Amino acid sequence: MQYRFLAVVIAAVLAVAGCDDDMSKQQKDKTWHAATPPPNDLAWPLSPPAGLVTRDAPLPPPTMSLALLRRGQERYDIFCAPCHAPTGDGYGMIVQRGFPAPPPLYDARIVAEPTRHYYDVMTDGYGIMYSFAERVPPRDRWAIAAYIRALQRTHSGELAEVPADKRAALQ
């Protein structure tokens, strides 16, 4: 009986000691650290072994089309809008429920990133955003990245860029 009580107290102390005030910014450990030397004086292979088949070889960006943007919007609304919001302002439904807000997608720092950066963020995660590689296929990641670019243009566009026959619908 006394040992059981002691075990419960030790388990409780360890559980409380593991907590942090800000658990939303935890370090991630990537499985492949090619930039750091491996332990025990081992060496990384300079090239992949012959016959190696990659699991998820990066696809080149597809050509821009209306179908690609529509697919990107559909996938964005499913996977990204809960946090980033349909408008990309970062106040999606998850954020309204207390989760930390991501920066707006039309922030100058984010707009300055290459389109490949958005694909890589969806693949690997970034900050507190987890990887969507298992949920979103590579072609859909490119479609979402293209849609994010279009979404950013809606925030920086000028009325003069809109064709004259379409301007009346905006006013």
Note if the pTM is more than 0.75: no
pLDDT reading at 45 higher than 80: no
Helices 138-156 and 66-79: angle between axes, nearest 10 degrees? 100
Q: Which of 6, 169, 154 is nearest to 86 (CA)?
A: 154
Q: What b/e string do you get for 31-49 counting C-beta neighbours within 10 Å, with b at 16 or more?
A: eeeeeeeeeeeeeeeeeee
- Residue 118 is predicted with a pLDDT of 94
Q: Which residues lie across from 126 on neighbouring strands?
A: 129
Name the residue type at position 97.
R
- Residue 59 is predicted with a pLDDT of 75
Q: What is the CATH number of domain 61-156?
A: 1.10.760.10
For the chain, what are the domain ranges? 61-156
